[in-house]
A and B are shown apart, each in its own frame.
Chain A
Amino acid sequence: MNLLNCHQINELLSAYLENELDPTTTLTVANHLEKCSLCERELAFLTNVSNLVRSAVEQIDKQDLSLISRASTINAYVKSQIAINPQTSPQAQTSQTPVNSYTSAETASTNNVVRLNTHQRRLAGGKKILLSLAASLAIVFLSLFAITYYSTTTGPLMSGVARNHQLCNVIELSNIGWHKGHSTENLLEVNNIKLPQLNSLGIEFYNLHPCKVYNAPFLHLMYKKGNKPVSIYYGSENTVAKLKETIPNIVPNKLYLQQESDLQIGAISTLKNNLWLIAGQLTEQEINAITSQLPMNSSSETEQSQLFH
């Protein structure tokens, strides 16, 4: 591993705070911070600056009561304009094709599974609309020949899970992680959940910590199937809202599946509006089996998760 000096580490601290470094560099920085009080102090300063900015801005937003009325005026105006002219754009007719939506594939094992495959196309501006039109026509053409077009990029929460799963495992296994020092019992108690027992599936629990995925707080339960890590995340209402950015009409107790390179990711929301996420090198059947072991609507599920409140 590369040994960096304080100056080089210093340059990375910002990205370290935002969790934006790759696992190897994160480790390098974490290792250095363990030994260097100077850099540790610098990190504390930078953290402090960020916290101050956040709390100042938060205070202003809280006190600026005009925001609510301004926003509702704008929304009312936009809705009235849409009512006058409901057409989204001249191209809307032709490009209303599968490119904008999920392509669902039949799932054999269960009838309560939705497989997500999103086509990643971010567009802005006029020229690109033509491109998008061409792209959608191409896809219509392809689908005529029954070729399924899958993109590897997917919704942000689900991709966040893949990234977090990998990163947390590197940190955890390295023995220097920022996750150390949490009492397992206490975290489960605070969140009022029972630890899902997956031993019958050959999946063993070994650790847990509070974690952030796509900027939403989760309880990260770490398991192992053989030597392969399996992650299970538990989050409260606001995490369901994050998933709604991807799936607007999310149905409770329904499993949403997504493949991210070699990782299978599953998401399932509960009747009480909490969210379970599962990630690992697993088959769809295995994810299904895990899902059946999760507390879904029993008394073991908390009324309102107190996670990080």
Chain B
Amino acid sequence: MTTDYSASPPLTEQLENFESLALLHTQTLLRTATRMCGNASEADDIVQETLLRAWKYWHTFELGSNCRAWLFRIMINLIHRRRESLSSLAEHVSVDEPAMANVLRFEPKLEMDERGALSALNSLPKEYRDIIFLVLVEEFSYKEAAVMLNVPMGTVMSRLHRARQMMKKLICPDQKEDVATA
């Protein structure tokens, strides 16, 4: 019973694969999009467009590879394009997206230190926030994150380290920087 995957998959099978491999990740995509865009309805649009694009190019998706990473790559691309068009539209207006907590339609119940971490996170520049969402929260590897963000792996590494340092300083401002100067 050797399975032969080499024959061209018929459309029904492609559809089935798309449902079981791609549509499985809609909630995950939505979570990250909401965090990155800071706007729920924008996030909905982006995820919808991501999935439609994913279907359009589904024949190029390679069954052996990581579908979640593939979808995230498409989505990050769309988010970046949206950011670019936003910043060209409003050149002198600050278009930095509202932080995640500000767009929630509910007041999350959080522990004190979680709240502190969240507000620290919200005060980071968005490229640092993004890397935290991708690597720390979604647990993508540096390599996967580098591909998604279209930056070298070294940048992912240094950005994440910088992000953590900034967070640390914000969360515990009285912590002396003894290590860096040692």
Contacts and interface: CB of A to CB of B under 8 A. Distances in A.
A299 B61 CA distance: 40
Interface residues of B, number: 87
B5 A6 contact: no
Interface in B44-61: 44, 47-48, 51-52, 55-61
Contacts, number: 227
B164 A124 contact: no
Contacts of B147: 122
B75 to A, nearest CB: 11
Given A64-B104, A67-B27, A101-B6, A245 B58 contact: no
B58 A154 contact: no
Contact of B5 (A52, A77, A92, A103): A103
A118 B65 contact: yes
A84 B127 CA distance: 38
Given A38-B179, A74-B51, A104-B6, A54 B136 contact: yes
Contact of B59 (A39, A46, A54, A91): A91
Given A56-B117, A155-B64, A78 B161 contact: no
B179 A7 contact: yes
A122 B158 CA distance: 25
B123 interface: no
16 contacts: A11-B161, A14-B160, A14-B161, A73-B44, A74-B26, A82-B15, A82-B55, A100-B59, A100-B60, A101-B9, A104-B5, A104-B6, A114-B2, A123-B57, A244-B20, A246-B64
Interface of A: 5-7, 10-11, 13-15, 18, 20, 38-39, 41-42, 45-46, 49-50, 52-57, 59-61, 63-64, 66-68, 70-75, 77-79, 81-82, 86, 88-89, 91-92, 95-104, 106-107, 111-114, 116, 118-125, 129, 132, 154-156, 215, 244-246, 248, 254
